[in-house]
Amino acid sequence: MIQYPPESTQPGDPVSRLDSAYTPDSAAGLSSIPFEATGSVRAGGAPVAVLRLDLTDFRSYETARLEVDARPVVLTGPNGAGKTNLLEAVSFLAPGRGLRRARLGEIDRRPALMGGEATPEIARPWAVAARLATPNGLVAIGTGRDGTSATGDRRLVRIDGQAVKGQAALAGYLNLVWLTPQMDRLFQEGAAPRRRFLDRLVFGYDPAHATRLAGYEQALRERAKLLRAGGADPQWLSVLEETLAREGVAVAAARREVADRLDRAASRPAGGFPSPRLSLDGGIDAWLETMPALAVEDRLRAEYGANRRLDAEIGGASVGPHRTDLKVHHAAKGAAAVDCSTGEQKALLISIVLAHARLQAGAKGAAPVLLLDEVAAHLDRTRRRALFDEIVALGSQAWLTGTDPELFAELGGRADFLTVAEGAALHAVSHAR
């Protein structure tokens, strides 16, 4: 299942690290050949799935290759074996900072953490290379830390061997959603993680959302910097505010549409899961309720212009989609998610993710890839079975982790079972079926 080292990886050479999944095959145009649907995939639907994953100096993995098919993947093994590390590697196939939101340098393999020698060493930048099945054929994605960048905290992305600028383009290939134990606090924390959760869902409906969001955030940072420095050219501020108003309304409108769709789709959840109600809370969201988008854009531009002095003081901007919050209610209880038990909150999140997967499978014929870290252990048998059945029915390549393989027994032959074993430097992953 996993081979060491992947033959095509040459440690030390950053380009080949990113491209170890990029073979002359794909150069010859394999990406235009439709991927053959396997038996586990819903009739008529082309699967979106990770077929191969190569890690180099990624956390506990020196080099590792994982080859799976489009079925759900179950990773089991003791605490600390490296299950979440594998999910994190997959999460870098989408835009953003991955499912741990780590600093990129933290991810470089540190042998000292694995009981290895603690000698000071120059960390080699990590890399992840993947081969994906998409409705348009096979795609090779390479990503990793750019060790040569000034901060060392820049991420490189290559798609089919071509370097791309930024990460937003990734949203057009792999539609990826995750639930992690950290997200048990999603409703307790500030609004930013909830916005990120929603934005990741929006990428599935509109991959350009990732580009707009990045453009908005970039303009917001530039404006804040100019305002902080003082004496900025008003003309230049106006140019930035123009971008903020245009992209900001597009971002808010896309979120609003997806939240509405999810709200409707989640009203009939899979067996045993609660029905969540979703809404957006924010100034711009309220305007969009009653005003046409163009009028909201004008109003937003005017507000940015009028608030320069205030925004210089607060070091940001007092209006805009960066202040939106996603509100979730437990319909049957009539209570806000924040007032529900941890278990109920988790179940609400699963309902949202499954509603999203259903919508995506219906609209695109391909369900998103789901990374469900330690989710199964917290569900009773009925809900666990409902979750598995739904995942299989949707043809989603869900990556499920847990310490106990028994939890996943009901998936049987419908999933690929892998054991992640503890080891000093290398972790063996093998079939345990």
Residue 197, H or E segment: helix 191-205
- 162 φ, ψ to 5°? -100, 130
Give the C-alpha separation, 409 to 74, whole Å: 10
419: contact with Mg ion by CB under 5 A = no
Is the four-CA dihedral 207, 209, 210, 215 of positive or negative sign?
Answer: positive
Residue 66 contact partner, candidates Mg ion, ligand ADP, none, CB within 5 to 8 A by sort of partner: none
Q: Is the dihedral of CA 83, 89, 95, 97 positive or negative?
A: positive
Nearer to ligand ADP, 97 or 385 (CB): 97
Query: How many CB atoms are located within 10 Å of the residue 36 CB?
Result: 10
Q: How far is the CB of 200 from Mg ion (least distance, A)?
A: 20
Site size for ligand ADP (CB under 6 A): 18
d(CA 18, CA 260): 38
**Interacting span for ligand ADP (CB under 6 A) from 106-114, 187-195, 283-291, 317-325:** 106-114
For every residue of 234-303, DSSP letters joined together read HHHHHHHHHHHHHHHHHHHHHHHHHHHHHHHHTTS-STTPPPEEEEEESHHHHHHHHS-HHHHHHHHHHH
Candidate segments 72-80, 236-244, 290-298, 338-346, binder of ligand ADP by CB under 6 A: 72-80
- Binding status of residue 59 toward ligand ADP by CB under 6 A: yes
Cα–Cα distance for residue pair 245/321, rounded to 1 Å: 10
| Angle separating helix axes 191-205 and 208-229, nearest 10 degrees | 140
**Nearest CB to Mg ion, comparing residues 83 and 209:** 83
Could you count the other beta carbons within 10 Å of the beta carbon of residue 212?
20
- The minimum distance between CB 12 and ligand ADP, in angstroms, equals 18
Q: Which of 12, 29, 80, 234 binds ligand ADP (CB under 6 A)?
A: 80
We find the least distance from the C-beta atom of residue 247 to ligand ADP, in angstroms, to be 35
**Cα–Cα distance, 128 to 65 (Å, whole number):** 10
Using the contact rule CB under 6 A, the part of the chain among 6-14, 82-90, 312-320, 342-350 near ligand ADP is: 82-90
Cis ω for the linkage preceding 120 (within 30 of 0): no
Backbone angles phi, psi at 371, to 5 degrees: -110, 105
Based on the shown chain and the rule CB under 6 A, indicate whether residue 82 belongs to the binding site for ligand ADP. Answer: yes
**Judged by CB, which is closer to Mg ion: 347, or 420?**
420
Q: Are strands 398-402 and 73-76 parallel, antiparallel or unpaired?
A: parallel
Return the one option of ligand ADP, Mg ion, none that residue 80 interacts with (CB less than 5 to 8 A, by type).
ligand ADP
Question: What is the rounded CA–CA span in Å between residue 188 and residue 246?
Answer: 31
| Binding residue (CB under 6 A) for ligand ADP from 14, 47, 72, 77 | 77
Does residue 97 touch ligand ADP according to CB under 6 A?
Answer: no
Q: Does 98 bind ligand ADP (CB under 6 A)?
A: no
Q: Element (H or E) spanning 228, and its range?
A: helix 208-229
Question: CA–CA separation, 353 vs 225, rounded Å?
Answer: 37
Nearest approach, Cβ of 101 to Mg ion (angstroms)?
Answer: 15
**CB closer to Mg ion out of 220 and 375:** 375
Regarding beta strands 49-58 and 416-420, do their DSSP bridges make them parallel or antiparallel, or are they unpaired?
A: unpaired
* Binding segment (CB under 6 A) for ligand ADP, from list 105-113, 158-166, 230-238, 376-384: 105-113
Structure tokens, 163: 């370097």
For residues 330-349, which are near ligand ADP according to CB under 6 A? none
Site for Mg ion in 67-96 (CB under 5 A): 83-84
Closest CB 66 distance from ligand ADP, rounded Å: 13
* 305 in contact with ligand ADP (CB under 6 A): no
Q: Which stretch binds ligand ADP (CB under 6 A): 18-26, 109-117, 173-181, 350-358?
A: 109-117
Q: Which of 2, 53, 81, 337 binds ligand ADP (CB under 6 A)?
A: 81
Q: Which residue has the tokens 């809370």?
A: 281
Among 93, 94, 114, 213, binds ligand ADP (CB under 6 A): 114
**Of 113, 192, 363, 377, the one binding ligand ADP by CB under 6 A:** 113
Please report how close the Cβ of residue 11 comes to ligand ADP at its closest, in angstroms. Answer: 15
For position 110 contacting ligand ADP by CB under 6 A, the verdict is yes
| Of 323, 320, 325, 324, residue with least CA distance to 219 | 320
Output the six-digit token pair for 10: 């040459």
> Which spans of this chain sit near ligand ADP (rule: CB under 6 A)?
59-60, 77, 79-85, 106-110, 113-114, 420
> Which spans of this chain sit near Mg ion (rule: CB under 5 A)?
83-84
